[in-house]
Amino acid sequence: MAGFADLNLPQGPDKKSLQSLLEAAAHLGYSAVALNHVIDFKEKKQEIVKPVSPLELFPSLPIVQGTSKRIKVLTRLTLVVSDPSHCNLLRSTSANIRLYDIIAVFPKTEKLFHIACTTLDVDLVCINVTEKLPFYFRRPPVNMAIDRGIFFELLYAPAIKDSTMRRYTISNAISLMQICKGKNIVISSAAERPLELRGPYDVSNLGLLFGLSESEAKAAVSTNCRATILHGETRKTACGVVYTVKKPRKVEEEETPLPACKKVKTQA
C-alpha cells in the first residue's frame, strides 16, 4: 500500500489557515497533500499563475503522525469548464500549466465530460457532489478514462457541511460506481478548515457507503492517489520513461531509463 494522500486542499489566500490545515492533515496521518488552485472560466478571464512553491510558503513542514517523515506538499490546478473553448488552455503549450504537479478538470456538461475522459491531458476528472448531476454517466467515456489512467475524484467536505449535499454526494457517487465498478476512484476532501478533514481510515469507510469494496475503498485513499501523482509526473517526461534533471554544476544530462513504475499508462 502506498501512503495516504489527500489531493484536494483549497489554496486560500491566508497562509496561517493553510498551515493549520497542513498540520491537521499530518496529524491525521496523511503523507502527501495537494494544494488546489481552482480556475473558473465563468468569471472574468483569469490568467494561470505559476504555482507557489510549497517550500516558500511553509518554511517547516509538519511530520506525519506515527512516522518520522515530513508531509509532502504538491500543487494542483483545477479547471472548471462549462464551454468547449475553455479546454483550449490545456492544449496550448502554456508554460505555467506544466509547472503544476496534478491537473484536474471539472466538466459541467455531458459533452465536456466525454471530451475530458477521452482526449484531454488531465490526471483527475472531478465529479460534482454539490448538486444533482445534469447528465448521466455512460460506459464508453468512463471505460476510456480508466484505460487512459485517469481517475475520478469525489469530495466529502461538502457532505460534512450540509445535509442536502450529503444526499447528492451519495447519489452521485453510487451512480458513478454502477458504471465504473469501483475502479479508478479517488476520494478527497475540499476542506477549508481543519475541522472538515477526516482521517484516512474514516474516509475509506465512507467509500464503503459509496459502494466500493473494502480493498477498493482503502485504495481510493492510498494507491490510487499515488497513481495519480505518478500520472502527473509523467507529463514532465518523455513518454514517461526518460526525464531530465538539472544537476547543480554540471551540464544537463539525461537519466537512464527509470523503473517500470513511471510509465504513462500507470499499471501501478
Partner 1 sequence: MAAAPCHGYRPQGGAPLRAPLPRMRTAARQRAEASSPHGFFAPPALVSRAVGDVRGVPLPHWRRCPAARGARRGDVGAAALAAPPAGAAAPAGLRAGPRAGRALAARGAGAGPRLQLPLLKSTIADVGQYYLVRNLSVHELVAHEFIDAFVKKGSCYALTYNTKIDQDNTAALLPNGKLILSVDKDTYEELGLQGRPSQYSGKKVMRYIVTVDLTDSGFHPDSKKHNRVLWALKEKKPLEFDFLLAWYNPGAEGSTLMSYFSKNQIQALKPKITFSTLRDLECPVLQSNELQGKPDESCSTEELFEWLGAVLNQVSLNNKSSSFLSTYCCPQPNTMVEKAFLCTITGFIIPEKIIQLLEQLCCYFGEPKLAYWLTLTVHGFADSPVSWRESEHGFHKGGENLYNFVIFRNLDYWLQMAVGTNDDCPP
CB-based contact 207:187 (threshold 8 Å): yes
Q: In this structure, are strands 124-126 and 185-188 parallel, antiparallel, or unpaired? A: unpaired
SS3 185: strand
Q: Is 203 in the site for partner 1 (CB under 8 A)?
A: yes
Question: Which CB atom, from 50 or from 193, has the smaller least distance to partner 1?
Answer: 193
What mask, x for binding partner 1 by CB under 8 A, covers residues 96 to 135? ----------------------------------------
In the complex, minimum distance from the CB of residue 84 to partner 1, in angstroms, rounded to a whole number: 35
In the complex, minimum distance from the CB of residue 57 to partner 1, in angstroms, rounded to a whole number: 25
Q: Give the residue, chosen from 29, 48, 179, 235, that forms a contact with partner 1 under the rule CB under 8 A.
A: 29
Q: Give the residue, chosen from 86, 114, 148, 218, that forms a contact with partner 1 under the rule CB under 8 A.
A: 218
Q: Is 31 in the site for partner 1 (CB under 8 A)?
A: yes
Give the cell for residue 149: 489512467
**Which residues have C-beta within 8 Å of that of residue 209, sequence separation ≥ 6?**
170
Question: Which CB atom, from 175 or from 205, has the smaller least distance to partner 1?
Answer: 205
CB-based contact 110:143 (threshold 8 Å): no
For 149-171, b where at least 16 C-beta lie within 10 A, e where not — what string?
bbbbbbbbbbbbeeeebeebbbe
**Which residues have C-beta within 8 Å of that of residue 109, sequence separation ≥ 6?**
82, 134, 135
Which residue is listed with cell 517526461? Answer: 237
What mask, x for binding partner 1 by CB under 8 A, covers residues 47 to 86? ------------------xxxxx-----------------
Site residues (CB under 8 A) for partner 1?
Answer: 1-4, 27-29, 31, 65-69, 198-205, 214-215, 218-219, 222-223, 259-261, 267-268
